[in-house]
């Protein structure tokens, strides 16, 4: 039997981080209506005319909390991984703070542009057909499609936008049942 393995996006999927991501932009004078989520932060800072270090200096790695039910899910998993566009300085601090131990956590420094599941899976030696990628954005959906993985939308984030054909988990606790079907 193939063991189902899980790879997660971080922001908006495991962490309810919109507010933590928004605060540095507001502190640096970006109007609220110009702020969107799911980007490579270096690219977004460039687009908004901000210095990446200024953004990171204002980012509080203690602010974002896991979505309800996420903590119980990840502590009970076998090997799992993270594939995120987040800057490693923020993401690694948060993983350390939470005491989470994915086998790999790949952040924006691993990519020349937006994240891609394929090199991570190749590094881990995980067959795409046995992988479920859990994310909250269309880019996450596309990453899973490109890699040949199953995609589950993190429907516990109210900002998610389900598309026809999506598997949607309404709660983290539903995830394992959903992918065992």
Among 5, 6, 7, 9, binds Mg ion (CB under 5 A): 9
Among 5, 7, 8, 11, binds Mg ion (CB under 5 A): 11
125 torsion bin: left (phi>0), alpha (psi -120 to 50), beta (else): left
Give least dist CB 9 to Mg ion, A. 4
Give least dist CB 18 to Mg ion, A. 10
Among 12, 66, 91, 172, binds Mg ion (CB under 5 A): 12
- Given the complex with Mg ion, which of 125 and 158 has the nearer CB atom? 158
| Residues contacting Mg ion: total by CB under 5 A | 4
The yes or no reply on residue 44 touching Mg ion (CB under 5 A) is no
* Site stretch for Mg ion (CB under 5 A), options 4-12, 96-104, 108-116, 162-170: 4-12
């Amino acid at each position: 039997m193939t063991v189902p393995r899980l790879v997660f996006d971080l922001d908006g999927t495991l962490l309810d981080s919109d507010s933590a991501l928004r605060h540095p932009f507001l502190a640096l004078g970006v109007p609220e209506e110009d702020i969107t989520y799911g980007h490579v932060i270096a690219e977004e800072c460039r687009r908004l005319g901000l210095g990446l270090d200024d953004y990171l200096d204002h980012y509080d790695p203690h602010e974002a909390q896991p979505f309800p039910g996420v903590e119980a899910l990840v502590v009970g998993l076998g090997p799992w991984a993270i594939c995120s566009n987040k800057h490693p300085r923020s993401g690694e601090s948060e993983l350390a703070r939470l005491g989470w131990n994915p086998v790999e956590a790949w952040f924006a420094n691993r990519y020349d542009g937006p994240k891609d599941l394929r090199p991570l899976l190749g590094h881990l030696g995980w067959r795409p057909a046995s992988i479920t990628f859990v994310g909250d954005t269309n880019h996450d959906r596309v990453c899973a499609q490109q890699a040949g993985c199953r995609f589950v939308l993190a429907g516990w984030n109210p900002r998610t936008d389900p598309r026809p054909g999506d598997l949607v988990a309404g709660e983290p606790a539903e995830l394992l049942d959903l992918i065992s079907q």
